[in-house]
Structure 1
Amino acid sequence: MLKTKAKSRLPEDFHDLVDPEQATVDRSIFSDEEIYKLELERIFARGWNFMCHESQIPKPGDFFLSFIGDDSVIATRDKTGKLQVFLNTCRHRGNAVCRAEQGHTKSFLCTYHGWTYGLDGKLIGVPGYKDFYHEDLDRSQWGLVAAPHVESYKGFVFACMDPDAPNLNEFLGPVGRIGLDLIAERGRIVPIDGIKKNIIGCNWKLAVDNAFDYYHAPLTHASTIMVRNPRVDKEGNALPPRANSSANDHRVMLGSYGHAISGPKVSETERSLAALLPDHKIEPRVDLAWRDKPETLEAMGPAGIEINSHPNIFPNMWVTESSQVALRIPRGPRSTEVWWFSFVDADLSDERQKAYVEHSNFLHGPSGMNEQEDGENWDQSTRGTASILAKNFPLNYAMNRDRGEVKFDNAGVAYIDTHVNEHAQLWMYMCWADWMTAPDWSSLKQRHESPPTDRF
């Protein structure tokens, strides 16, 4: 009996799953297999994706293995030094042509049949080319699949597989650029050797969502706060941590295509602490000297210079206040691989660099206290979106909705000063619906959320 293909359950308009008026989000977007597959196609396959830092591939032949969605890609430099990004798949049988995570090579070899590719992606070697193929194989047509767009923003390399996409600068817009400037302007930054990687049983969007979430910190990270800043009474008994002094001093910036920043502003407490601490004791979160450079103010603008955290470059690149970058790489609707890049200013003293490393190891990665605490929540939240009984009840993102007053700095950049809120999370999902609904870049450019100019 002939079987017919089941009709897709996907909505024609994904805005039906995100209600900005009620500030709710349908649970299905976090666990539905069809939605996940379409995300790979409409978000990751046509968006700009962070690959690596230029200092990780400084010379021709250097390479770094990364991902666009769940596709393995090779970021490298060809013989001329030009940045290149290729799909890590042989054009003969699809085998990977690069297995090492990072290194240096003269070419990329498929270990299945020996097809060999140059640093420019061209097919340069085919065993049996004369005897088996009779020289009929047009090697010029069978090179590695190259990203049509590869660009760098202040050392951060991005790639895009869609030829119709706008350039990186247009894609980032002011909010995306300020988000990257939060780390790029810190000095002559270089990555610490090694990328921390671990897999968490959660949807990638919930991990991104959490980047903006300061509502959870006092409870979820109570143990981390007590370890880092222990409080005791006169008898030495432990006291609960104080309320977050920055809870009412947040800045939000919302950008086109889903970029957003939401977190505490630089506080007077941090400025005082930075002035009091010895140079070698200053951690990334209270390292403020880099903000005082005229070129930094020019790059970030009056609104951006006061941002302390937390930007996300849509879809999945989080820049932290502690000189780190996290990628939330999708591994299925209910699994995410988290990568942590840690950066330091190459001109800092050895003591300061050591303090940065200790700080990053303490908070993030497989053994980081924050990551362990967050991961448990994300795992259980993802399970809760797949439940038969609970899936009909949307999630709530209404905190401070319609109370965020939009202001503009003298450079024309919009921002909202408020308390702990859920503006950036809701904005991200509204933009997510734009990406998922538009069939191509032309449609996305015509119909995407414009950053608010009055209230949000």
Structure 2
Amino acid sequence: MTIEMGRTEITGPILSDGTPLADLIDLEKHEVSMRLLSDPEVFRLELQRLFARAWTVLAHETEIPEPFDYVSRDIGLDPVIVTRSRSGEINVVLNVCTHRGMQVCRAEAGNEKQFKCPYHGWSFNEQGRFMGSPVARENMHGAFHSKEELGLKKARVERYAGFVFATWDPDAPSLEEYLGEIKFYQDLMFARSEAGLEVLGPPQRFIIPSNWKCPGEQHAGDGYHAMTLHRSINELAASESDDSSMYGIDVSANGHGLRLIDRRKGKWKNNREAVLAAQSLPPFEKLRTIMLPPGMTPEMAEQLADTLTEDQMTVLADYPPSVGGLFPNMGTFCFEFPTPMGMAAIISWHAFVPKGPDTFEFINWYLVEKDAPAEFKDLMRRAATLGLGSTGFVETDDADTWPLMTASSKGYMGSQGTIKYGALTGEDQPLTGYWDKGDFPGGGHLYPGFTKDDAQWNWWLRWRDFMLDDPWGPDAHH
């Protein structure tokens, strides 16, 4: 351990071949070793140092609306049950029987007041409390532990925008602190209405043969890949030129990232003149007329003045957030989307749940505003299934890329290569338009102009914090 530039340089774990984990991220060249995409040792360390400590998303509260409803999910490789108690409280309990380690629940969803282990019949209530075992007079839970000690392990639980987050770390900050300055922008996508969001049925769940970090870092702010990988989408969308959607502001905070699209320049085929004419209107008037937030009707937009601040409405009208991610393994979406039935919108959350160093489960939630008209919800469902998830042509593009990156990292020569993040905007660039940099209403690290690598590099720095040092300490990258 050495001291450099006022910081303590931490080498962190040493891998079995003698390589310090810290050496696999080059802080000077902004490069990441390909080895990190498939190394089994690194994956085991991630389970301990990252997924046992970070806040991760598991479900949406509208998946379990009634008392004793539950869904089964995973935190890393740890199976958990997300339950709603009689009082409405949401619990996350480890789905591992304290007797012999069998999973007490093997269904994906349901409604149960008690979970009975199929191996020896030990029972637990929806909050994880041990209720008893068969043949009670024989005291089969033994003499060494009280019933109170034999309950299922409970995670800390907090909610944001109806989504249920959990962490095993008692020292982790609150979810609001964990989200930090990115919450200002996420609210513009998912906390805009008084009623809130609801899911359109159970989420899609499917397996992709790729390391989870491939989609994780992409959703921190990689807008550049859309020019090439998603070229067909650009040809269908409302943008006049291939690169117009590449300009805006990339935002980064605590490893989370978002892309803000510049809507003020009128680069839209369908409503150029209207967008230009709307620039003289106050933010609320823009939002309730020509610049409706994706997924809202004009009637629904009337409540924005009550749910958002003036600063938030200013950003939503001129630089709306569209695609991003929450560290470490979540993707978030809220954008307009063309369909054969007309222009629609997609609101979606993804989770990339690791199943091994080269496999992850993709969980895809489709969402709508609860108070949206039925026909509007149906149009959004059609748009979402067309664009995202297992049936969508956006992620069929991505699903070709991530597995091949992972496979490339397994070869000897491939493992010697690096992923490069050298195209940097930096935070000293002026913001285009009528804002001076210091006057921009939103916080976080701001990277205006053509989308580059800054936010994704920040994602890797946050990953490094968790893997090498104390992620909650004063030297962590926020």
Shift in CA distance, 10/370, structure 1 to aligned 2, threshold 3 Å: farther
Question: Which residue identity does 1:447 align to in structure 2?
Answer: D
- Offset of residue 81 of structure 1: 2.1
> Which amino acid in structure 2 is aligned with residue 446 of structure 1?
P
2:185 touches 2:442 (CA, 8 Å); kept in 1? no
Q: 2:327 aligns with which of 304, 314, 317?
A: 314
Q: Superposed, which structure 2 residues align to 1:186-335 within 5 Å?
A: 188-211=196-219, 212-226=221-235, 228=236, 242-248=241-247, 250-256=248-254, 258-266=255-263, 268-269=266-267, 272=271, 285=294, 293-298=304-309, 301=312, 304-305=315-316, 306-321=319-334, 322-335=346-359
Give the match for residue 17 of structure 1: 24
The amino acid that maps onto 1:33 is P
> In 1, are the aligned partners of 2:329 and 2:353 still within 8 Å (CA)?
yes
Q: Deviations over 1:170-206 (max 9, x none)?
A: 1111214532542232553110002112211111111
Cα pair distance change 1:297/1:95, threshold 3 Å: same
Matched residue of 2:62: which SS?
Answer: helix
CA contact (8 A) 1:327 1:340 kept: yes
Tell me the matched-pair count.
424
Q: Does 1:115 align with 2:152?
A: no
Aligned 8 A contact 2:251 2:447 in 1: yes
Using the alignment, how far apart are the partners of 1:437 and 1:299 within structure 2?
40
Counterpart CA distance in 2 for 1:77 and 1:205 is 31
Residue 391 of structure 2 corresponds to residue 367 of structure 1: yes
Aligned counterpart, 1:433: 464
TM-score, length-scaled by structure 1: 0.84
- Structure 1 residues 93-120: Cα deviation after superposition (integer angstroms, max 9, x where no partner): 1111112222211111111111110122
Separation of aligned partners in 2, 1:107 and 1:286: 38
Residue 448 of structure 2 corresponds to which residue in structure 1?
417
Q: Which amino acid letter does the alignment assign opposite residue 308 of structure 2? A: L
Q: Quote how far apart the aligned CAs of 1:416 are.
A: 2.5
| Distance of 1:274 and 1:121 partners within structure 2 | 59
Q: Structure 1 residue 76: deviation in Å? A: 1.1
Give the deviation of 1:160 after TM superposition. Answer: 0.9
- Equivalence map 1:70-219=2 (5 Å): 70-131=77-138, 133=140, 136=143, 138-147=146-155, 149-176=156-183, 178-179=185-186, 181-185=188-192, 188-211=196-219, 212-219=221-228
How does 1:39-58 map onto structure 2 within 5 Å? 39-58=46-65
- Kept after mapping to 2: 8 A contact 1:260/1:311: yes
- Return the alpha-carbon distance in structure 1 between the equivalents of residues 25 and 313 of structure 2: 32
Which letter maps to 1:272?
A: N
Question: What is the RMSD of the two structures over their aligned residues, measured on CA atoms?
Answer: 3.0
Structure 2 contact 56–167 (Cα < 8 Å) conserved: yes
Q: CA 1:172–1:291 in 2, change beyond 3 Å: closer, same or farther? A: farther
Range with greater deviation from structure 2 (374-383 or 297-306):
297-306
**1:246: how far off?**
2.1
The amino acid that maps onto 1:213 is: D
Q: How big is the shift at 1:128?
A: 2.5
Q: Does 1:62 align with 2:69?
A: yes
Shift of 1:375: 0.8
1:448 equivalent in structure 2: 476
Q: What does residue range 385-404 of structure 1 map to in structure 2 within 5 Å?
A: 385-402=409-426
1:404–1:417 contact (8 Å) kept in structure 2: no
5+ residue gaps, structure 2 = 1-13, 276-287, 335-345, 431-436
Q: Aligned to 1:84, what secondary structure does the other structure show?
A: strand
Query: Residues 101 and 133 from structure 1, CA distance in 2 versus in 1: closer, same or farther, beyond 3 angstroms?
Result: closer
Deviation at 1:8, TM superposition (A): 2.5
Query: Quick one: structure 1 residues 83 and 9, their matched pair in 2 at CA, closer, same or farther if it must change by over 3 Å?
Result: farther
Give deviations 1:391-448, integer Å, cap 9, x for gaps.
222111112354763734465714222112111111101111111001x55xx42321
Structure 1 pair 60/412, CA: closer, same or farther in 2 (3 Å)? same
Indicate conservation of the 8 Å contact 1:303/1:409, yes or no: no
CA contact (8 A) 1:10 1:34 kept: no
Whole-angstrom distance in 2 between the partners of 1:284 and 1:361: 20
**More divergent stretch after superposition (48-57 vs 216-225):** 216-225
Partners in 2 of 1:329 and 1:242 — Cα distance? 35
Amino acid across the alignment from 2:464: A
1:11 CA drift (Å): 5.1
- State the AA in 1 paired with 2:330: M
Q: What is the alpha-carbon distance in structure 1 between the residues aligned to residue 320 and residue 153 of structure 2?
A: 39
Question: Amino acid of the residue matched to residue 216 of structure 1?
Answer: H
Distance 1:140 1:10, change over 3 A: farther
Listed one character per residue, the Cα deviations across residues 117-145 of structure 1 (whole Å, up to 9, x for unaligned) are 01221111201232253963521110111
- The Cα shift of 1:294 comes to 2.2
Q: Which moved more, 1:423-432 or 1:185-194?
A: 185-194
CA positional deviation for 1:329: 0.8
Is 1:8 the counterpart of 2:32? The answer is no
The C-alpha deviation readout for 1:230-280, integer Å capped at 9, x for no partner, is 99xxxxxxxxx94132222x2111112x1122352445456938979xx9x
1:47 and 1:165 in contact (8 A); partners too: yes
What SS does the aligned partner of 1:348 have? coil
SS at match of 1:342: strand
Cα 1:410/1:131, change in 2 over 3 Å:
same
Report the AA paired with residue 372 of structure 1: T
2:278 corresponds to: none
Partner amino acid for 1:351? E
* AA in 2 matched with 1:297: L
Summarize the Cα distance change of 1:274–1:87 in structure 2 as closer, same or farther, 3 Å threshold. Answer: farther
Moved more, 35-44 or 168-177: 168-177
**TM-aligned CA distance change 1:408 to 1:342, over 3 Å:** farther
Corresponding residue of 1:382: 406
Report the Cα offset of residue 49 of structure 1.
Answer: 1.1
Q: Counterpart in 2 of 1:234? A: none
Q: Identity of paired residues, percent?
A: 29
2:198–2:370 Cα contact (<8 Å) kept: yes
Instruction: List gaps (5 residues or longer) in structure 1.
Output: 1-5, 232-240, 451-456
Distance 1:76 1:274 in 2: 50
